[in-house]
Structure 1
Amino acid sequence: MNAMHQYMLDNYRAAQRGDQAPPQPGLHDVRVVREFRDYRHFQAVVSGRRARGRARAALARWLHRRPRRAAGCR
């Protein structure tokens, strides 16, 4: 059973009982992602880390690091 089938079943049960219909699947996904991002930014600020640009800075460090020398070579 996928999310749409579950939604239709829940909607039917709510109509039979006279309850309010549940929200459609995927209706609040963007809001949840934004709240999670804001929460991660808040936690970074509270712990003293940079709130924005951390992934880009880590990628830049990884791309611009010096190559390792071979063992025994100077």
Structure 2
Amino acid sequence: MSITQQHLLDAYRARQHDEPAPPAPGAHDWQVVREWRDERQFRAVLAGRPARHRFRVALNRWRRRPT
């Protein structure tokens, strides 16, 4: 059974029991990614490391290099 079929079945069952439908698959993916990033930054601060984005640091280093 695919995730879409499972979602449709869950929505049908919720409707039969007068309950709110579950969120669609993937509806909260970006929120999970943001929370994971925030947790990583928090743990970096606790460990005494700077809470910067590695990509941003690498981009700034590339921008500042002499030509």
TM-score, normalised to structure 1, is 0.68
User: Larger Rg: 1 or 2?
Assistant: 1
Give ranges in structure 1 of 5+ residues lacking alignment: 58-74
In angstroms, what is the RMSD of aligned CA positions?
A: 1.8
Deviation track 1:26-62 (CA, whole Å, cap 9, x = no partner) reads 00100110110011001100111121144767xxxxx
Query: Residue 14 in 1 paired to residue 27 in 2?
Result: no
C-alpha distance in structure 2 between counterparts of 1:14 and 1:41, whole Å = 38
Residue type at the aligned position of 2:4: M
Give ranges in structure 2 of 5+ residues lacking alignment: 59-67
**Sequence identity, in percent?**
54
**SS at 2:30 equivalent:** helix
Size of the aligned set, in residue pairs, is 58
